Amino acid sequence: MDGINSLRNGPDEFGNFGQFGGRFVAETLMPLILDLEAHYRAAKIDPEFKAELSDLSINYAGRPSPLYFAKRVTEHLGGAKVWFKREELNHTGSHKINNCLGQILLAKRMGKTRVIAETGAGQHGVATATVCAKFDLPCVIFMGATDVERQMPNVLRMRMLGAEVRPVTAGAGTLKDAMNEALRDWVTNVDTTYYLIGTAAGPHPYPEMVRDFQSVIGTEIKDQFQKAEGKLPDAVVACVGGGSNAIGSFHAFLDDSSVALFGAEAGGHGIDVENGHAASMTGGRPGVLHGNRTYLLQDKDGQILEGHSISAGLDYPGVGPEHSFLHDTKRVTYAPITDDEALEAFQLCTKLEGIIPALESAHGLALLMKVAKTMGKDQSIVLCLSGRGDKDVESVGKYLGLLK
Amino acid sequence: MSTRIATRFAAVKAENRPALVTYVMAGDPDLATSQAILAALPQAGSDMIELGIPFSDPMADGVAIQLGGQRALAAGQTLRGVLAMVEDFRRKDEITPIVLMGYYNPIYSMGVDKFLAAAVAAGVDGLIVVDLPPEEDDELCLPALAAGINFIRLTTPTTDDKRLPTVLKNTSGFVYYVSMTGVTGAAIKSRGAVSDAVERIKGHTDLPVAVGFGIKTAADAADIGRHADGIVVGTVLVEAVANSLVDGKATDKTVGAVRDLVADLFAGVKRARG
């Protein structure tokens, strides 16, 4: 436990980070969520669980991921030194594996025989299908029909890994609709099924649990940067959809007030375009959806809006409750990045560093580009490069007119 | 204070039959037709009305009620509109209890105090809010009880004896037993388990126990209603609305389709204990 004024103490026993979080679920799920919490508390302090997770993280996922000095991007921007935390080098190509390994071990401990998950960009779906293959559990991935179209390579990967991908046609066919459908499946198959939520959102204990499994990112950044430069970095940047890579990157630094923290929200066509973005904190207000109270995109009557982003992984009208808390307390600065800015950053990273980033991570890079320019050359800024962009090559190619 | 809900359950008990609780989506397929459906329900045999508040993300509902909600939203329904429907209904019917059923966000968005004041003024008797378990009672349950509105809780097959007291603690009006683990409109897996569960719940509370989710026919109503104090029918009524539409618009058959089905279900509850 950190000090009484620490920002790292949340959530409280009811799952609240300030006014955000909670357990807003149907009664059918409530006993299961309490059971999950009990199992998680026990696992968290069980040396055997920790040892197994650590072994898998090292030998299966490839941790620790490198902290890389991006020399050409640094020179191009002419400001702070730019570093990439290379989560895209993890097995399955993103940070999502960190959480999936932790949760699949929990599912096993709980004796569950079937796994479901929602996915937007497909990165979480692939990571879930991967751990289910490894642990021999049948798995169903709910994915919006729109996202199935724009992330076909990941759909194929999931199917090859043995998962059933169920396209969801309700609503706009994106991440929010996939999550609704996953919740409907869970409520129906509650006895056998483990819901492996991919982001740091949903009912307590998911936001806390996913954060804990992802906080290895920030812990490693801290160690690696200390070894490289002998101090703390001056700023850390990550993209925020639900916000799992961001909270994982930020958590270790929350009490280090010298480290500025920045989250890039999906600004889509622009924050002033109605229903044209997915920046829930910049453009939304608090509400209750998918088990938690958090900032949501909604109309004046409390109906949830679909939102828009070029990135399927950020195209969600809500955000993890801890981010809402960090937004209100102003510990983290959240700013919208438009589709065009993300595309520009995507190309810059590809051409200058030879790294094709996921469109999600490109949002983080676009925000870094703005911030780094305002910083001194003796300062350092770290980007969580949360995923690789192979899945986006086709859709970016279309946007750039490279495909006929 | 004897509430409309308590009065109605006492009345049907005296008739030795279960109450027929009917669910319709407020504003489906359009505001005027929905108001006409609502007005027709009591005469057709509905003892109590659950009026659905449409929501963009109905996580606990099956396809039929999802689509009903989408039709209502497309027709311009809002939470204020739902309350206005109740107010209009109450001008002609002072006795049939109305329970609003939906999800928390539209209420939270309006503001709990503002909503409760408007609900009391409109003549709302109870609330069922799917995503507010007892762990979140401070949000709406306790303020609603203080305002004189019943807060009806769902209990489910996963609510075991250890948890039941928690769930029942601030429940009032009646207890709504969800017949299976699933979404609205799915199939009941075991009827025997439903009557066992009703008995189990009655061991913990004096409140009436109504059963819902998966009751589709008069035969179901008669069967489940043998042990339950009330049966709740929703999906098939929303489907009756859907099936009566032409090009998505109400027809002269829409109100009648719902009325006839309710009358049929009422025949089922009347013979439940016969």
- pLDDT (average), residues B152-160: 94
Chain B interface, best mutation among A16, A19, A28, by max B CB count within 10 A: A28
Q: Residue A187: list chain B partners with CB under 8 A.
A: 59-60, 181-183
DSSP A93: G
Instruction: Give the range of the structural domain holding residue A270, as residue numbers without chain letter.
Output: 61-93+215-399
Q: Which of A310, A317, A316 is nearest to A296 (CA)?
A: A317
Residues A123 and A195 in one domain: yes
Catalytic-labelled residue, pool A65, A87, A94, A96: A96
Q: Are strands A291-296 and A20-24 parallel, antiparallel or unpaired?
A: antiparallel
Res A9 pLDDT > 60: yes
Hey, what are A142's tokens? 């709910």
Q: Which of A69, A19, A87, A15 is nearest to A313 (CA)?
A: A87
- pLDDT single digits (tens) A77-121: 999 999 999 999 999 999 999 999 999 999 999 999 999 999 988
Hey, what are A238's tokens? 């990550």
Catalytic-labelled residue, pool A118, A208, A220, A265: A118
- Check residue B210 and give its pLDDT: 97
- pLDDT single digits (tens) A313-347: 898 999 999 999 999 999 999 999 999 999 999 99
Query: What is the C-alpha separation between A215 and A230, in angstroms, rounded?
Result: 21
Residue type, position A8, single letter:
R
Q: Which of B235, B240, B233 is nearest to B254 (CA)?
A: B240
Give the closest-approach CA distance of B14 to chain A in angstroms. Answer: 31
Chain A interface, best mutation among B55, B57, B101, by max A CB count within 10 A: B57
Res A404 pLDDT > 80: no
CB atoms B160 and A290 under 8 Å: no
Task: Confirm or reject contact between B161 and chain A (CB < 8 A).
Answer: no
Q: Residue B60: list chain A partners with CB under 8 A.
A: 26, 28, 183-184, 187
The pLDDT-based confidence of B248 (bands split at 50, 70, 90) is: very high
Give the closest-approach CA distance of B96 to chain A in angstroms. Answer: 27
- pLDDT (average), residues A289-304: 97
In this structure, what CATH number is given to the domain that contains residue A314?
Answer: 3.40.50.1100
Residues A88 and A129 in one domain: no
- Check residue A403 and give its pLDDT: 78
Q: Is residue A14 part of a domain?
A: no
Whether A386 sits among the annotated catalytic residues: the reply is yes
Q: Residue B26: list chain A partners with CB under 8 A.
A: none
Residues A74 and A107 in one domain: no
Q: Is residue A140 part of a domain?
A: yes
In the predicted model, what is the mean pLDDT of chain A? 95
Q: Is residue A50 part of a domain?
A: no
- Using CA of residue B172, residue B23, residue A169, residue A159, what is the dihedral sign? positive
- pLDDT single digits (tens) A156-208: 999 999 999 999 988 778 889 999 999 999 999 999 999 999 999 999 999 99
Residues A180 and A293 in one domain: no
Q: Is residue A117 part of a domain?
A: yes
Q: Is residue A11 part of a domain?
A: no
Residues A164 and A76 in one domain: no
- pLDDT single digits (tens) A362-400: 999 999 999 999 999 999 999 999 999 998 998 899 999
Residues A240 and A283 in one domain: yes
Candidates B56, B108, B183; nearest CB to A184: B183
* Domains in chain A, number: 2
* Residue where one domain finishes, among candidates A177, A210, A243: A210
In the predicted model, what is the mean pLDDT of chain B? 96
Q: Residue ranges of the alpha helices (H) in A174-296?
A: 175-188, 206-214, 216-229, 244-250, 280-283
Res B88 pLDDT > 90: yes
Active site residue ranges of B:
50, 61
Task: Confirm or reject contact between B74 and chain A (CB < 8 A).
Answer: no
Q: Which residue has the higher pLDDT, B5 or B187?
A: B5
* Residue where one domain finishes, among candidates A157, A187, A210: A210
Residues A238 and A162 in one domain: no
Q: Residue B182: list chain A partners with CB under 8 A.
A: 187-188
CB atoms B106 and A188 under 8 Å: no
* Residue where one domain finishes, among candidates A165, A184, A210: A210
Query: What is the C-alpha separation between A207 and A209, in angstroms, rounded?
Result: 6
The pLDDT-based confidence of B55 (bands split at 50, 70, 90) is: very high
Residues A319 and A250 in one domain: yes
Q: Is residue A307 part of a domain?
A: yes
Residues A254 and A298 in one domain: yes
Share of chain B above pLDDT 90, in %: 93
Query: What is the C-alpha separation between A110 and A123, in angstroms, rounded?
Result: 25
Res A44 pLDDT > 60: yes
The torsion angle over the Cα atoms of residues B255, B48, B132 and A281, rounded to 10 degrees, is: 30
Q: Is residue A20 part of a domain?
A: no
Chain A interface, best mutation among B101, B153, B158, B201, by max A CB count within 10 A: B158
Task: Confirm or reject contact between B170 and chain A (CB < 8 A).
Answer: no
- pLDDT (average), residues A31-41: 96
Residues A206 and A220 in one domain: no
- Check residue A189 and give its pLDDT: 94
Residues A81 and A158 in one domain: no
Q: Residue B181: list chain A partners with CB under 8 A.
A: 28, 187-191
Q: How many CB atoms lie within 10 A of CB B32?
A: 11
Residues A237 and A346 in one domain: yes
CB atoms B131 and A24 under 8 Å: yes
Res A359 pLDDT > 70: yes
Share of chain A above pLDDT 90, in %: 89
- pLDDT (average), residues B16-39: 98
Q: Residue A25: list chain B partners with CB under 8 A.
A: 131, 133
The pLDDT-based confidence of B191 (bands split at 50, 70, 90) is: confident
- Check residue A395 and give its pLDDT: 87
- Check residue A5 and give its pLDDT: 81
- Counting one residue from chain A and one from chain B, the pairs whose CB atoms sit within 8 A come to 115
Q: Residue B59: list chain A partners with CB under 8 A.
A: 26, 180, 183-184, 187, 290
- pLDDT (average), residues A14-40: 96
CB atoms B59 and A290 under 8 Å: yes
Chain B interface, best mutation among A30, A294, A304, by max B CB count within 10 A: A30
Instruction: State in Å, rounded, how far the first CA of chain B is from the last one.
Output: 32
Residue with tokens 């030998």: A59
Q: Is residue A46 part of a domain?
A: no
Res A1 pLDDT > 70: no
CB atoms A23 and B135 under 8 Å: yes
CB atoms A301 and B109 under 8 Å: yes
Catalytic-labelled residue, pool A112, A386, A391, A395: A386
Q: What domains sit in chain B, N to C, each tagged with a CATH number?
A: 4-270 (3.20.20.70)
- Check residue A108 and give its pLDDT: 97
